[in-house]
Amino acid sequence: MKTPFILPVRVYYEDTDAGGVVYHSNYLNFFERARTEMLRDLGFEQNQLREQSGVIFAVRNMQIDYLRPAKFNDLVHVSAVISQLKKVSLTFEQTIKCNEILLCTCSCQVVCLNADKFLPTALPDFLLKQFLTKTNEH
């Protein structure tokens, strides 16, 4: 997917520490929401993927760079774009921006797992085809 999926997220008081700055682990929640909403935008609900195709996704690794703080009541924009697609995994490049200022970057590798055995399994063909289509769009 060359054009990033963008999710607007309002920073709530519960997302921040006592100083009104987003607590570091909450950036993970924002990134997760964007990946989930991107899948939903592509027509895939994760609970349906589990029930109908027997697959789930799990984060295998993640690299995060915190550049500037997000603060209480900021409206941030969280992006997600697939940068690498393999047989059993995909890598997302993600950013969080506020007023076009880059606050945080993330590279996240997600693996496809058999929902019952929690072992790596190939992405279903229909998912792979949709991801490939979106990855090659301009």
Question: What distance in Å separates the CA atoms of residue 19 and residue 37, rounded to the nearest whole number?
Answer: 29
**Given a cut of 50, is residue 112 above it in pLDDT?**
yes
Residue 101 placed within a domain: yes
Residue 136 placed within a domain: no
- Summarised one tens digit per residue, pLDDT across range 3-33 is 899 999 999 999 999 999 999 999 999 999 9
Which CATH number characterizes residue 27's domain?
Answer: 3.10.129.10
pTM check: above 0.85? yes
Q: Which residues, 6 or more positions from 47, have their beta carbon under 8 angstroms from its beta carbon?
A: none
Catalytic residue among 15, 17, 74, 125: 17
**Given a cut of 70, is residue 96 above it in pLDDT?**
yes
- Summarised one tens digit per residue, pLDDT across range 56-78 is 999 999 999 999 999 999 999 99
Residue 135 placed within a domain: no
Name residue 113's beta-bridge partners.
56, 120
| Total tally of structural domains belonging to the chain | 1
- Model confidence at 138, pLDDT cuts 50, 70, 90, reads very low
Question: C-alpha distances in angstroms, 62 versus 30, 106, 126?
Answer: 14, 7, 26
Residue 137 placed within a domain: no
Residue 124 placed within a domain: yes
Q: Which domain holds residue 54?
A: 5-128
Q: Is 17 a catalytic residue?
A: yes
Residue 22 placed within a domain: yes
Residue 17 placed within a domain: yes
**Which position has the higher pLDDT, 55 or 131?**
55
Residue 92 placed within a domain: yes
